[in-house]
């Protein structure tokens, strides 16, 4: 069983969960992800890995819809998740590049930011982390930021309440002007990743981004996560999820992201109605 060994609130919308999963912790490499199932009949949800140590994996989860809310509301330390499958996907290449930047502006990206730079630093790179949040309330506690694995660490907030006002694109523009970047990795909001691809393209700076797609099996069998990449069909779960941003057809990726919004909204409403009725109060 996949026993929860730690759980903490990171911000009003994100939380941290650590689970015993020795088979994943042993084999996981940066760039790879897992697929969780809370219950035997629950849906399969892909998650990035923040840490994989001592037979346990840590994840950052955003309270978005039915399953992420269910794990937050109904699973505590000592409880077990039904399944943690993985590691899945193709690892990124960890080697000496020079100066490696990781930029993130959402939950999965923040996990990947720490996980990737930790190993890039060990490989002898100069590491720069940029983490973007909406405002002060959204900024994670210091122990969960990528500060400890970064030689330089920047926080941006949309309202300027912490760090630099703006988002990671503003910091990357400055780093490019200072000629400080050998390779950029990034994860988070797909729209920002599409903009990052356009920002770095004219400079020819290698740019690797996590292309999140709706995944079902996570092993290349169902076709749900297909993307157009360099004129070919690729599966984000098997061939990625990290891809060269300059070869991704972002228009297609952004269109596919919202395929199931109606169904997701309905599942969330039904779950909240059920849980609020059973608790006799508003839970979320």
Ligand X SMILES: Cc1cc2nc3c(=O)[nH]c(=O)nc-3n(C[C@H](O)[C@H](O)[C@H](O)COP(=O)(O)OP(=O)(O)OC[C@H]3O[C@@H](n4cnc5c(N)ncnc54)[C@H](O)[C@@H]3O)c2cc1C
CA angle 59, 62, 64 (to 5 degrees): 145
Q: Does 60 bind ligand X (CB under 6 A)?
A: yes
Query: From the list ligand X, ligand FES, none, which binds 84 (C-beta under 5 to 8 Å, kind-based)?
Result: none
* CB closer to ligand X out of 111 and 186: 111
Cα gap 36→43, rounded to integer Å? 8
Q: Which two tokens stand for residue 228?
A: 């157009």
For the CB of residue 90, give the shortest distance to ligand FES in the complex, in Å. 12
Out of 85, 92, 183, 215, the only residue in the binding site for ligand FES (CB under 6 A) is 215
Helix (DSSP H) and strand (DSSP E) numbers for the chain: 8, 17
Cα gap 16→9, rounded to integer Å? 6
Cα gap 90→236, rounded to integer Å? 9
Out of 216, 267, 272, 283, the only residue in the binding site for ligand FES (CB under 6 A) is 216
For the CB of residue 209, give the shortest distance to ligand FES in the complex, in Å. 17
Its sign, for the CA torsion 268, 270, 272, 274, is negative
CA angle 32, 156, 113 (to 5 degrees): 15
Out of 218, 239, 240, 250, the only residue in the binding site for ligand FES (CB under 6 A) is 218
* CB closer to ligand FES out of 168 and 243: 243
Number of residues written out for the chain: 284
What is the phi/psi pair of residue 96, to 5°?
-85, 115
Residues contacting 263, CB < 8 A, separation 6+: none
CB 55, CB 21: distance < 8 Å: yes
Q: Which x/- pattern over 247-266 shows residues binding ligand X (rule: CB under 6 A)?
A: ----------x---x--x--
What phi-psi label fits residue 184: left (phi over 0), alpha (psi between -120 and 50 degrees) or beta? Answer: beta
For the CB of residue 257, give the shortest distance to ligand X in the complex, in Å. 6
Out of 21, 31, 48, 140, the only residue in the binding site for ligand X (CB under 6 A) is 48
Site for ligand FES in 224-253 (CB under 6 A): 224-225, 235, 237
Q: Which two tokens stand for residue 82?
A: 């039904």
Cα gap 149→144, rounded to integer Å? 11
Q: Which stretch binds ligand FES (CB under 6 A): 121-129, 168-176, 211-219, 243-251?
A: 211-219
- Could you count the other beta carbons within 10 Å of the beta carbon of residue 195? 14
Strand partners, 154: 130
Out of 30, 31, 46, 86, the only residue in the binding site for ligand X (CB under 6 A) is 46
Query: From the list ligand X, ligand FES, none, which binds 222 (C-beta under 5 to 8 Å, kind-based)?
Result: ligand FES
Out of 111, 145, 196, 245, the only residue in the binding site for ligand X (CB under 6 A) is 111
Q: Does 220 bind ligand FES (CB under 6 A)?
A: yes
Q: Does 45 bind ligand X (CB under 6 A)?
A: yes
* CB closer to ligand X out of 15 and 181: 15
* CB closer to ligand X out of 170 and 264: 264
Q: Which residues contribute to the site for ligand FES (CB under 6 A)? A: 215-218, 220-225, 235, 237
Q: Which residues contribute to the site for ligand X (CB under 6 A)? A: 33, 43, 45-48, 59-62, 64-68, 107-108, 111, 212-215, 241, 257, 261, 264, 268
């Amino acid at each position: 069983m996949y026993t929860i060994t730690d759980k903490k609130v990171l911000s009003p919308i994100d939380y941290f969960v650590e689970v015993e999963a020795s088979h994943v912790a042993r084999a996981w490499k940066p760039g790879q992800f897992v697929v969780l199932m809370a219950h035997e009949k629950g849906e399969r949800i892909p998650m990035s890995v923040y840490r994989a140590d001592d037979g346990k994996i840590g994840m950052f989860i955003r309270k978005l819809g039915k399953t992420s809310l269910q794990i937050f509301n109904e699973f505590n330390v000592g409880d077990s998740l039904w399944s943690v499958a993985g590691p899945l996907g193709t690892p990124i290449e960890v080697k000496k590049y020079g100066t490696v930047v990781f930029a993130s502006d959402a939950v999965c990206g923040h996990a990947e930011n720490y996980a990737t730079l930790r190993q890039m630093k060990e490989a002898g790179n100069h590491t720069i982390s940029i983490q973007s949040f909406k405002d002060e309330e959204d900024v994670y506690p210091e122990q969960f930021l990528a500060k400890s694995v970064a030689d330089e660490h920047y926080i941006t907030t949309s309202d300027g309440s912490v760090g630099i006002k703006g988002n990671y694109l503003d910091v990357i523009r400055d780093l490019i002007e200072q000629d400080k970047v050998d390779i950029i990795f990034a994860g988070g909001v797909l729209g920002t990743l599409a903009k990052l691809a356009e920002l770095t393209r004219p400079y020819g700076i290698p740019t690797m981004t996590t292309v999140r797609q709706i995944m079902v099996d996570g092993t290349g069998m169902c076709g749900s996560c297909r993307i157009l990449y360099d004129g070919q069909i690729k599966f984000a779960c098997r061939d990625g999820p990290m891809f060269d941003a300059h070869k991704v057809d972002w228009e297609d990726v952004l269109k596919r992201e919202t395929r199931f919004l109606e169904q997701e909204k309905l599942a969330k409403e039904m779950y909240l109605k059920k849980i609020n009725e059973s608790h006799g109060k508003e839970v979320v």
